[in-house]
Chains A and B, each alone.
Chain A
Protein backbone atom coordinates (compact mmCIF):
# COMPACT_ATOMS: atom_id res chain seq x y z
CA UNK A 1 0.00 0.00 0.00
CA UNK A 2 1.38 3.40 -0.87
CA UNK A 3 0.14 6.05 1.53
CA UNK A 4 -1.06 9.36 0.15
CA UNK A 5 1.54 12.10 0.49
CA UNK A 6 1.39 13.44 4.03
CA UNK A 7 1.41 17.12 3.24
CA UNK A 8 2.75 19.64 0.84
CA UNK A 9 6.44 20.07 1.40
CA UNK A 10 7.32 23.02 3.53
CA UNK A 11 8.86 25.92 1.68
CA UNK A 12 12.43 25.31 2.76
CA UNK A 13 13.64 28.40 4.47
CA UNK A 14 16.04 26.16 6.33
CA UNK A 15 15.39 28.04 9.53
CA UNK A 16 13.81 25.94 12.26
CA UNK A 17 12.73 26.51 15.82
CA UNK A 18 12.05 24.25 18.75
CA UNK A 19 8.56 23.93 20.14
CA UNK A 20 7.68 22.13 23.32
CA UNK A 21 4.41 20.27 23.19
CA UNK A 22 3.82 19.27 26.76
CA UNK A 23 4.63 18.00 29.31
CA UNK A 24 1.52 19.91 30.33
CA UNK A 25 -0.48 20.36 27.24
CA UNK A 26 -4.14 19.42 26.82
CA UNK A 27 -3.39 17.36 23.72
CA UNK A 28 -0.76 15.23 25.40
CA UNK A 29 -3.22 13.88 27.98
CA UNK A 30 -1.08 13.44 30.98
CA UNK A 31 2.52 14.35 30.91
CA UNK A 32 4.00 13.43 27.58
CA UNK A 33 6.48 15.87 26.16
CA UNK A 34 7.18 16.23 22.47
CA UNK A 35 10.14 18.27 21.35
CA UNK A 36 9.07 19.53 17.97
CA UNK A 37 11.54 20.99 15.53
CA UNK A 38 9.39 23.20 13.40
CA UNK A 39 9.89 24.76 10.03
CA UNK A 40 7.12 27.29 10.15
CA UNK A 41 3.90 25.30 10.59
CA UNK A 42 5.57 22.08 9.52
CA UNK A 43 7.19 19.51 11.73
CA UNK A 44 10.63 18.43 10.67
CA UNK A 45 11.30 16.28 13.70
CA UNK A 46 9.21 15.26 16.70
CA UNK A 47 11.09 13.75 19.56
CA UNK A 48 8.98 12.18 22.29
CA UNK A 49 10.41 12.60 25.77
CA UNK A 50 9.01 10.00 28.14
CA UNK A 51 9.45 9.37 31.80
CA UNK A 52 7.47 12.12 33.49
CA UNK A 53 5.18 9.59 35.17
CA UNK A 54 7.60 6.76 35.54
CA UNK A 55 6.47 4.80 38.59
CA UNK A 56 8.83 1.82 38.52
CA UNK A 57 6.11 -0.75 38.10
CA UNK A 58 8.55 -3.31 36.76
CA UNK A 59 10.93 -2.73 39.62
CA UNK A 60 8.08 -2.96 42.11
CA UNK A 61 7.31 -6.34 40.64
CA UNK A 62 10.71 -7.53 41.75
CA UNK A 63 10.32 -6.65 45.40
CA UNK A 64 6.89 -7.86 46.38
CA UNK A 65 4.92 -11.05 46.37
CA UNK A 66 2.66 -11.98 43.48
CA UNK A 67 -0.53 -11.08 45.30
CA UNK A 68 0.99 -7.80 46.41
CA UNK A 69 1.84 -6.83 42.85
CA UNK A 70 -1.71 -7.48 41.71
CA UNK A 71 -3.01 -3.98 42.59
CA UNK A 72 -0.25 -2.44 40.47
CA UNK A 73 -1.59 -4.09 37.36
CA UNK A 74 -4.74 -2.01 37.40
CA UNK A 75 -2.70 1.17 37.59
CA UNK A 76 -0.33 0.80 34.67
CA UNK A 77 -2.97 1.80 32.18
CA UNK A 78 -5.78 3.07 34.35
CA UNK A 79 -8.27 3.00 31.47
CA UNK A 80 -7.65 -0.64 30.71
CA UNK A 81 -7.31 -2.04 34.21
CA UNK A 82 -9.20 -5.28 33.67
CA UNK A 83 -7.06 -6.36 30.73
CA UNK A 84 -3.82 -5.69 32.52
CA UNK A 85 -4.85 -7.64 35.58
CA UNK A 86 -5.97 -10.40 33.26
CA UNK A 87 -2.51 -10.71 31.74
CA UNK A 88 -0.80 -10.88 35.10
CA UNK A 89 -3.13 -13.44 36.65
CA UNK A 90 -3.03 -15.31 33.35
CA UNK A 91 0.75 -15.63 33.52
CA UNK A 92 0.62 -16.88 37.11
CA UNK A 93 -2.19 -19.30 36.29
CA UNK A 94 -0.18 -20.71 33.41
CA UNK A 95 2.83 -21.15 35.65
CA UNK A 96 0.86 -22.96 38.33
CA UNK A 97 -1.37 -24.82 35.91
CA UNK A 98 -4.47 -23.47 37.60
CA UNK A 99 -7.78 -24.23 35.91
CA UNK A 100 -10.07 -21.26 36.13
CA UNK A 101 -13.77 -22.13 36.54
CA UNK A 102 -15.82 -21.38 33.41
CA UNK A 103 -18.07 -18.92 35.19
CA UNK A 104 -15.07 -16.90 36.27
CA UNK A 105 -13.74 -16.86 32.71
CA UNK A 106 -17.07 -15.62 31.43
CA UNK A 107 -17.19 -12.92 34.05
CA UNK A 108 -13.68 -11.91 33.02
CA UNK A 109 -14.73 -11.64 29.41
CA UNK A 110 -17.81 -9.57 30.25
CA UNK A 111 -15.94 -7.17 32.49
CA UNK A 112 -12.98 -6.93 30.10
CA UNK A 113 -15.21 -6.05 27.20
CA UNK A 114 -17.13 -3.49 29.24
CA UNK A 115 -13.78 -2.03 30.20
CA UNK A 116 -12.77 -1.91 26.54
CA UNK A 117 -15.92 -0.01 25.65
CA UNK A 118 -15.41 2.47 28.46
CA UNK A 119 -11.80 2.98 27.40
CA UNK A 120 -12.81 3.60 23.81
CA UNK A 121 -15.44 6.06 25.00
CA UNK A 122 -12.79 8.05 26.85
CA UNK A 123 -10.67 8.04 23.73
CA UNK A 124 -13.65 9.12 21.65
CA UNK A 125 -14.33 12.09 23.90
CA UNK A 126 -10.72 13.11 24.37
CA UNK A 127 -9.82 12.71 20.71
CA UNK A 128 -12.64 14.97 19.60
CA UNK A 129 -11.66 17.39 22.31
CA UNK A 130 -8.20 17.54 20.76
CA UNK A 131 -9.80 18.29 17.44
CA UNK A 132 -11.84 21.09 18.96
CA UNK A 133 -15.24 19.49 19.44
CA UNK A 134 -16.37 19.63 23.02
CA UNK A 135 -19.89 18.16 23.09
CA UNK A 136 -19.12 14.55 22.06
CA UNK A 137 -17.11 14.19 25.25
CA UNK A 138 -20.22 14.79 27.30
CA UNK A 139 -22.20 12.16 25.41
CA UNK A 140 -19.37 9.68 25.70
CA UNK A 141 -18.92 10.25 29.40
CA UNK A 142 -22.62 9.82 30.01
CA UNK A 143 -22.42 6.34 28.50
CA UNK A 144 -19.14 5.57 30.16
CA UNK A 145 -20.66 6.48 33.49
CA UNK A 146 -23.14 3.62 33.06
CA UNK A 147 -20.26 1.18 32.71
CA UNK A 148 -18.36 2.65 35.63
CA UNK A 149 -21.43 2.34 37.83
CA UNK A 150 -21.87 -1.29 36.84
CA UNK A 151 -18.25 -2.15 37.46
CA UNK A 152 -18.11 -0.17 40.67
CA UNK A 153 -21.02 -2.13 42.08
CA UNK A 154 -19.21 -5.44 41.62
CA UNK A 155 -15.60 -4.44 42.12
CA UNK A 156 -15.85 -1.54 44.56
CA UNK A 157 -13.82 0.77 42.39
CA UNK A 158 -14.39 2.94 39.37
CA UNK A 159 -11.06 2.66 37.59
CA UNK A 160 -8.49 0.63 39.47
CA UNK A 161 -10.66 -2.45 39.65
CA UNK A 162 -8.16 -5.13 40.63
CA UNK A 163 -11.02 -7.57 40.33
CA UNK A 164 -9.36 -10.73 39.05
CA UNK A 165 -7.61 -13.13 41.38
CA UNK A 166 -5.28 -16.01 40.69
CA UNK A 167 -7.70 -18.72 39.65
CA UNK A 168 -10.85 -16.64 39.30
CA UNK A 169 -12.41 -13.34 40.23
CA UNK A 170 -12.84 -11.63 43.58
CA UNK A 171 -16.63 -11.73 43.95
CA UNK A 172 -19.41 -13.31 41.99
CA UNK A 173 -21.63 -11.01 39.95
CA UNK A 174 -25.23 -10.50 40.96
CA UNK A 175 -28.53 -10.13 39.17
CA UNK A 176 -28.42 -6.36 39.34
CA UNK A 177 -25.19 -6.46 37.35
CA UNK A 178 -26.64 -8.82 34.76
CA UNK A 179 -29.74 -6.68 34.36
CA UNK A 180 -27.70 -3.52 34.24
CA UNK A 181 -25.35 -4.93 31.61
CA UNK A 182 -28.25 -6.03 29.45
CA UNK A 183 -29.78 -2.60 29.75
CA UNK A 184 -26.45 -1.06 28.84
CA UNK A 185 -26.09 -3.15 25.70
CA UNK A 186 -29.62 -2.16 24.67
CA UNK A 187 -28.81 1.49 25.34
CA UNK A 188 -25.43 1.57 23.63
CA UNK A 189 -26.53 0.47 20.16
CA UNK A 190 -28.75 3.51 19.48
CA UNK A 191 -26.11 5.68 21.09
CA UNK A 192 -23.54 4.39 18.62
CA UNK A 193 -25.85 5.35 15.79
CA UNK A 194 -26.14 8.76 17.37
CA UNK A 195 -22.35 9.06 17.52
CA UNK A 196 -22.11 8.26 13.87
CA UNK A 197 -24.73 10.87 13.02
CA UNK A 198 -23.22 13.50 15.23
CA UNK A 199 -19.54 12.82 14.67
CA UNK A 200 -18.55 10.26 12.05
CA UNK A 201 -20.56 11.85 9.25
CA UNK A 202 -19.60 15.34 10.28
CA UNK A 203 -17.91 17.10 7.40
CA UNK A 204 -15.44 18.98 9.60
CA UNK A 205 -14.26 15.79 11.23
CA UNK A 206 -13.96 14.00 7.92
CA UNK A 207 -11.84 16.77 6.47
CA UNK A 208 -9.61 16.70 9.50
CA UNK A 209 -9.13 12.94 9.54
CA UNK A 210 -9.37 11.45 6.08
CA UNK A 211 -5.92 11.10 4.57
CA UNK A 212 -4.29 12.68 7.62
CA UNK A 213 -1.42 10.97 9.36
CA UNK A 214 -1.15 7.85 7.24
CA UNK A 215 0.81 5.07 8.91
CA UNK A 216 1.96 2.38 6.50
CA UNK A 217 1.66 -1.17 7.72
CA UNK A 218 5.39 -1.61 7.36
CA UNK A 219 5.96 1.24 9.83
CA UNK A 220 3.59 -0.37 12.35
CA UNK A 221 5.47 -3.63 12.03
CA UNK A 222 8.83 -1.97 12.47
CA UNK A 223 7.81 -0.27 15.71
CA UNK A 224 5.69 -3.07 17.04
CA UNK A 225 2.49 -1.06 17.00
CA UNK A 226 -0.56 -3.11 17.91
CA UNK A 227 -4.22 -2.69 18.67
CA UNK A 228 -6.39 -0.30 16.71
CA UNK A 229 -3.27 1.34 15.27
CA UNK A 230 -2.15 -1.69 13.30
CA UNK A 231 -5.74 -2.70 12.52
CA UNK A 232 -6.24 0.76 11.06
CA UNK A 233 -3.28 0.05 8.79
CA UNK A 234 -4.72 -3.13 7.39
CA UNK A 235 -3.44 -5.98 9.57
CA UNK A 236 -6.03 -8.14 11.32
CA UNK A 237 -3.87 -8.55 14.39
CA UNK A 238 -5.87 -9.09 17.55
CA UNK A 239 -4.45 -11.10 20.42
CA UNK A 240 -7.91 -12.49 21.14
CA UNK A 241 -7.73 -14.24 17.77
CA UNK A 242 -4.02 -14.78 17.18
CA UNK A 243 -3.04 -16.02 20.64
CA UNK A 244 -6.42 -17.00 22.08
CA UNK A 245 -6.70 -16.78 25.82
CA UNK A 246 -9.53 -17.18 28.32
CA UNK A 247 -12.78 -18.26 26.63
CA UNK A 248 -12.56 -15.88 23.68
CA UNK A 249 -12.50 -18.68 21.07
CA UNK A 250 -16.06 -19.52 22.11
CA UNK A 251 -17.42 -16.18 20.96
CA UNK A 252 -18.37 -15.05 17.54
CA UNK A 253 -16.90 -11.63 16.83
CA UNK A 254 -15.08 -9.86 14.04
CA UNK A 255 -11.83 -7.98 14.06
CA UNK A 256 -12.48 -4.63 12.39
CA UNK A 257 -9.74 -3.80 9.89
CA UNK A 258 -9.35 -0.75 7.69
CA UNK A 259 -6.52 -0.66 5.17
CA UNK A 260 -6.27 3.13 4.70
CA UNK A 261 -3.92 3.72 7.59
CA UNK A 262 -5.07 7.30 8.14
CA UNK A 263 -6.53 8.80 11.29
CA UNK A 264 -10.04 8.08 10.05
CA UNK A 265 -9.23 4.39 9.74
CA UNK A 266 -8.12 4.23 13.37
CA UNK A 267 -11.21 6.13 14.36
CA UNK A 268 -13.42 3.66 12.54
CA UNK A 269 -11.64 0.64 13.99
CA UNK A 270 -12.37 1.77 17.54
CA UNK A 271 -15.98 2.65 16.79
CA UNK A 272 -16.50 -0.79 15.24
CA UNK A 273 -14.79 -2.41 18.19
CA UNK A 274 -17.37 -0.97 20.54
CA UNK A 275 -19.99 -2.78 18.50
CA UNK A 276 -17.99 -6.02 18.54
CA UNK A 277 -17.50 -5.79 22.29
CA UNK A 278 -21.24 -5.38 22.70
CA UNK A 279 -21.69 -8.56 20.69
CA UNK A 280 -19.28 -10.45 22.91
CA UNK A 281 -20.95 -9.19 26.07
CA UNK A 282 -24.34 -10.19 24.73
CA UNK A 283 -23.20 -13.73 23.94
CA UNK A 284 -21.44 -14.09 27.26
CA UNK A 285 -24.53 -12.99 29.17
CA UNK A 286 -26.62 -15.48 27.28
CA UNK A 287 -24.35 -18.43 27.95
CA UNK A 288 -23.09 -17.50 31.39
CA UNK A 289 -22.54 -20.81 33.19
CA UNK A 290 -23.20 -21.26 36.87
CA UNK A 291 -20.70 -22.56 39.36
CA UNK A 292 -17.85 -21.29 41.46
CA UNK A 293 -15.89 -18.20 40.54
CA UNK A 294 -12.61 -19.16 42.13
CA UNK A 295 -10.47 -22.20 41.56
CA UNK A 296 -10.00 -24.63 44.40
CA UNK A 297 -6.62 -25.24 45.88
CA UNK A 298 -4.91 -21.97 45.10
CA UNK A 299 -2.02 -21.97 47.56
CA UNK A 300 -2.05 -19.18 50.14
CA UNK A 301 1.62 -18.56 49.60
CA UNK A 302 2.32 -18.43 45.91
CA UNK A 303 5.62 -19.76 44.68
CA UNK A 304 6.01 -20.23 40.97
CA UNK A 305 8.21 -22.98 39.55
CA UNK A 306 11.47 -21.78 38.12
CA UNK A 307 11.23 -20.52 34.59
CA UNK A 308 9.65 -17.93 32.38
CA UNK A 309 5.93 -17.47 32.04
CA UNK A 310 4.18 -15.19 29.61
CA UNK A 311 0.65 -14.11 29.00
CA UNK A 312 -0.53 -11.60 26.44
CA UNK A 313 -3.94 -10.00 26.21
CA UNK A 314 -5.64 -7.61 23.85
CA UNK A 315 -5.95 -4.47 25.90
CA UNK A 316 -7.88 -1.46 24.66
CA UNK A 317 -4.72 0.02 23.16
CA UNK A 318 -3.16 -3.16 21.84
CA UNK A 319 -1.07 -6.08 22.94
CA UNK A 320 -0.19 -6.08 26.59
CA UNK A 321 2.07 -8.89 27.73
CA UNK A 322 3.51 -9.89 31.06
CA UNK A 323 6.62 -11.98 31.33
CA UNK A 324 7.42 -13.35 34.76
CA UNK A 325 10.78 -14.89 35.47
CA UNK A 326 10.68 -16.94 38.62
CA UNK A 327 13.43 -18.52 40.66
CA UNK A 328 11.04 -20.38 42.95
CA UNK A 329 10.90 -17.67 45.55
CA UNK A 330 7.77 -15.93 46.78
CA UNK A 331 8.93 -12.84 44.96
CA UNK A 332 9.37 -12.78 41.19
CA UNK A 333 12.87 -12.37 39.85
CA UNK A 334 11.65 -10.21 37.01
CA UNK A 335 8.32 -8.87 35.84
CA UNK A 336 8.54 -7.51 32.35
CA UNK A 337 5.57 -5.47 31.19
CA UNK A 338 5.13 -4.97 27.49
CA UNK A 339 2.78 -2.04 27.11
CA UNK A 340 1.15 -1.14 23.81
CA UNK A 341 1.27 2.65 24.14
CA UNK A 342 5.07 2.73 24.13
CA UNK A 343 5.30 1.13 20.70
CA UNK A 344 2.37 3.11 19.41
CA UNK A 345 4.04 6.34 20.43
CA UNK A 346 7.43 5.36 19.04
CA UNK A 347 6.22 5.50 15.47
CA UNK A 348 5.05 9.07 15.91
CA UNK A 349 8.43 10.55 15.14
CA UNK A 350 8.59 8.97 11.74
CA UNK A 351 4.91 9.27 10.93
CA UNK A 352 4.68 12.96 11.79
CA UNK A 353 7.59 14.14 9.65
CA UNK A 354 6.51 16.92 7.33
CA UNK A 355 3.05 17.23 8.84
CA UNK A 356 1.37 20.43 9.84
CA UNK A 357 1.03 20.94 13.55
CA UNK A 358 -2.78 20.61 13.81
CA UNK A 359 -2.65 17.44 11.73
CA UNK A 360 0.00 16.02 14.01
CA UNK A 361 -2.35 16.62 16.94
CA UNK A 362 -5.00 14.63 15.07
CA UNK A 363 -2.48 11.85 14.47
CA UNK A 364 -1.39 11.86 18.10
CA UNK A 365 -4.98 11.68 19.28
CA UNK A 366 -5.77 8.85 16.92
CA UNK A 367 -2.99 6.78 18.51
CA UNK A 368 -4.94 6.83 21.80
CA UNK A 369 -1.97 7.09 24.10
CA UNK A 370 -2.15 6.68 27.84
CA UNK A 371 0.99 8.30 29.15
CA UNK A 372 1.41 6.33 32.39
CA UNK A 373 1.18 3.25 30.22
CA UNK A 374 4.18 4.45 28.20
CA UNK A 375 6.28 5.22 31.24
CA UNK A 376 5.08 2.36 33.46
Chain B
Protein backbone atom coordinates (compact mmCIF):
# COMPACT_ATOMS: atom_id res chain seq x y z
CA UNK B 1 0.00 0.00 0.00
CA UNK B 2 2.71 2.44 1.06
CA UNK B 3 4.80 1.43 -1.92
CA UNK B 4 1.94 1.99 -4.32
CA UNK B 5 1.24 5.42 -2.89
CA UNK B 6 4.89 6.31 -3.11
CA UNK B 7 4.98 5.28 -6.70
CA UNK B 8 1.93 7.36 -7.54
CA UNK B 9 3.39 10.43 -5.87
CA UNK B 10 6.80 10.00 -7.49
CA UNK B 11 5.16 9.28 -10.83
CA UNK B 12 3.09 12.43 -10.71
CA UNK B 13 6.14 14.40 -9.70
CA UNK B 14 8.11 13.09 -12.68
CA UNK B 15 5.33 14.18 -15.00
CA UNK B 16 5.26 17.67 -13.49
CA UNK B 17 9.04 17.98 -13.76
CA UNK B 18 8.79 16.96 -17.41
CA UNK B 19 6.15 19.59 -18.03
CA UNK B 20 8.32 22.22 -16.40
CA UNK B 21 11.13 21.36 -18.78
CA UNK B 22 8.75 21.67 -21.70
CA UNK B 23 7.45 25.03 -20.50
CA UNK B 24 10.95 26.45 -20.09
CA UNK B 25 11.90 25.31 -23.58
CA UNK B 26 8.70 26.75 -24.93
CA UNK B 27 9.94 30.29 -24.39
CA UNK B 28 13.42 29.79 -25.77
CA UNK B 29 14.33 31.20 -29.19
CA UNK B 30 13.67 29.18 -32.33
CA UNK B 31 16.64 27.07 -33.43
CA UNK B 32 15.54 26.17 -36.95
CA UNK B 33 15.99 28.15 -40.15
CA UNK B 34 12.86 28.87 -42.20
CA UNK B 35 14.21 27.30 -45.38
CA UNK B 36 13.67 28.15 -48.29
CA UNK B 37 13.06 31.76 -47.23
CA UNK B 38 16.41 31.68 -45.57
CA UNK B 39 19.27 29.38 -46.45
CA UNK B 40 22.37 28.48 -44.53
CA UNK B 41 25.80 29.32 -45.81
CA UNK B 42 27.84 26.25 -46.50
CA UNK B 43 31.16 25.99 -44.67
CA UNK B 44 34.44 26.40 -46.51
CA UNK B 45 35.07 22.68 -46.81
CA UNK B 46 31.59 21.78 -47.93
CA UNK B 47 31.63 19.11 -50.60
CA UNK B 48 29.28 19.97 -53.44
CA UNK B 49 29.51 18.77 -57.06
CA UNK B 50 32.99 19.50 -58.37
CA UNK B 51 33.79 22.35 -60.73
CA UNK B 52 36.81 23.37 -62.76
CA UNK B 53 39.10 26.08 -61.47
CA UNK B 54 40.08 28.95 -63.71
CA UNK B 55 43.67 29.98 -64.13
CA UNK B 56 43.68 33.73 -63.39
CA UNK B 57 46.62 34.26 -65.73
CA UNK B 58 45.05 32.76 -68.84
CA UNK B 59 41.36 32.90 -67.99
CA UNK B 60 41.03 29.27 -69.00
CA UNK B 61 40.70 26.11 -66.97
CA UNK B 62 43.90 24.99 -65.26
CA UNK B 63 43.12 21.36 -66.06
CA UNK B 64 45.41 19.70 -68.58
CA UNK B 65 43.55 16.41 -68.94
CA UNK B 66 46.06 14.23 -67.16
CA UNK B 67 43.32 11.76 -66.20
CA UNK B 68 44.45 11.32 -62.61
CA UNK B 69 41.11 12.40 -61.23
CA UNK B 70 39.20 10.08 -63.55
CA UNK B 71 41.38 7.20 -62.46
CA UNK B 72 41.03 8.01 -58.76
CA UNK B 73 37.25 8.18 -58.85
CA UNK B 74 35.73 5.05 -57.31
CA UNK B 75 32.54 5.35 -59.31
CA UNK B 76 33.90 6.28 -62.72
CA UNK B 77 31.92 9.48 -63.00
CA UNK B 78 34.58 11.54 -64.73
CA UNK B 79 35.45 11.60 -68.43
CA UNK B 80 38.20 14.01 -69.41
CA UNK B 81 39.52 14.75 -72.85
CA UNK B 82 42.10 17.23 -73.97
CA UNK B 83 44.12 18.22 -77.02
CA UNK B 84 47.68 19.31 -77.27
CA UNK B 85 48.11 22.39 -79.43
CA UNK B 86 51.26 23.25 -81.17
CA UNK B 87 53.72 25.30 -79.20
CA UNK B 88 52.07 24.46 -75.89
CA UNK B 89 53.74 22.37 -73.28
CA UNK B 90 50.62 20.71 -71.96
CA UNK B 91 47.27 19.56 -73.16
CA UNK B 92 44.23 21.74 -72.79
CA UNK B 93 41.01 20.30 -71.49
CA UNK B 94 38.31 20.20 -74.15
CA UNK B 95 35.75 18.09 -72.41
CA UNK B 96 35.20 17.39 -68.76
CA UNK B 97 32.10 15.37 -68.10
CA UNK B 98 30.83 14.59 -64.65
CA UNK B 99 28.01 12.14 -64.13
CA UNK B 100 26.76 13.56 -60.89
CA UNK B 101 24.14 10.85 -60.57
CA UNK B 102 26.97 8.44 -59.75
CA UNK B 103 29.09 10.79 -57.68
CA UNK B 104 29.26 10.17 -53.95
CA UNK B 105 31.09 13.43 -53.21
CA UNK B 106 33.95 11.50 -51.74
CA UNK B 107 36.62 13.91 -52.83
CA UNK B 108 39.08 11.40 -54.28
CA UNK B 109 39.24 13.39 -57.51
CA UNK B 110 40.00 16.69 -55.78
CA UNK B 111 42.72 15.05 -53.72
CA UNK B 112 44.21 13.33 -56.74
CA UNK B 113 44.57 16.45 -58.87
CA UNK B 114 48.20 17.57 -58.79
CA UNK B 115 47.41 21.18 -59.69
CA UNK B 116 44.21 21.91 -57.80
CA UNK B 117 42.39 22.23 -61.09
CA UNK B 118 39.09 21.07 -59.61
CA UNK B 119 37.35 22.02 -56.41
CA UNK B 120 34.07 21.44 -54.66
CA UNK B 121 31.28 23.86 -55.38
CA UNK B 122 28.91 25.02 -52.66
CA UNK B 123 25.82 23.91 -54.50
CA UNK B 124 23.63 21.80 -52.23
CA UNK B 125 19.94 22.22 -52.91
CA UNK B 126 19.72 20.52 -56.21
CA UNK B 127 17.09 18.05 -57.29
CA UNK B 128 15.68 16.98 -60.59
CA UNK B 129 13.38 14.26 -61.85
CA UNK B 130 15.56 13.78 -64.93
CA UNK B 131 18.74 11.82 -64.60
CA UNK B 132 20.26 13.44 -67.70
CA UNK B 133 20.36 16.80 -65.96
CA UNK B 134 23.03 15.37 -63.72
CA UNK B 135 25.32 14.84 -66.70
CA UNK B 136 27.44 17.92 -66.36
CA UNK B 137 29.77 19.43 -68.87
CA UNK B 138 32.16 21.28 -66.63
CA UNK B 139 34.08 22.99 -69.43
CA UNK B 140 30.92 24.54 -70.77
CA UNK B 141 29.87 25.45 -67.28
CA UNK B 142 33.13 27.32 -66.82
CA UNK B 143 32.77 29.10 -70.15
CA UNK B 144 29.25 30.18 -69.30
CA UNK B 145 30.41 31.60 -66.02
CA UNK B 146 32.84 33.92 -67.77
CA UNK B 147 30.18 35.35 -70.01
Contact = CB atoms under 8 A, between A and B. Distances in A.
Interface string B10-22: 1110110110011
Contact of B21 (A145, A153, A194): A194
B107 A162 contact: yes
B72 A67 contact: yes
Contact of B31 (A145, A198, A202, A203): A145
Interface stretch (A68-76, A216-224, A246-254, A257-265): A68-76
A153 B42 CA distance: 9
Nearest to A139: B25
A68 B74 contact: yes
A20 interface: no
A137 interface: no
B108 A153 contact: no
Contacts of A202: 14-15, 18
B47 interface: yes
B15 to A, nearest CB: 7
Contact of A197 (B11, B17, B105, B111): B17
A139 B21 CA distance: 11
A341 interface: no
B147 interface: no
A24 interface: no
Interface in A184-232: 194, 197-199, 201-204
A338 B31 CA distance: 38
A150 to B, nearest CB: 10
A156 interface: yes
B120 interface: yes
A171 B17 contact: no
B43 A153 contact: yes
B46 A197 contact: no
Given A71-B74, A139-B25, A145-B31, A153 B45 contact: yes
Contacts of B101: none
Given A68-B108, A142-B31, A155-B45, 16 more contacts: A64-B74, A68-B72, A69-B74, A70-B108, A71-B104, A145-B31, A152-B43, A152-B45, A153-B45, A156-B46, A156-B120, A160-B105, A202-B15, A203-B10, A203-B14, A204-B15
20 contacts: A64-B74, A68-B72, A68-B74, A68-B108, A71-B108, A72-B74, A135-B22, A153-B43, A156-B43, A156-B46, A156-B47, A157-B105, A171-B45, A194-B21, A197-B21, A201-B14, A201-B17, A203-B10, A203-B11, A203-B14
Interface of A: 64, 67-72, 75, 135, 139, 142, 145, 152-157, 160, 162, 170-171, 194, 197-199, 201-204
Interface of B: 7, 10-12, 14-15, 17-18, 21-22, 25, 31, 43-47, 72-74, 104-108, 111, 120
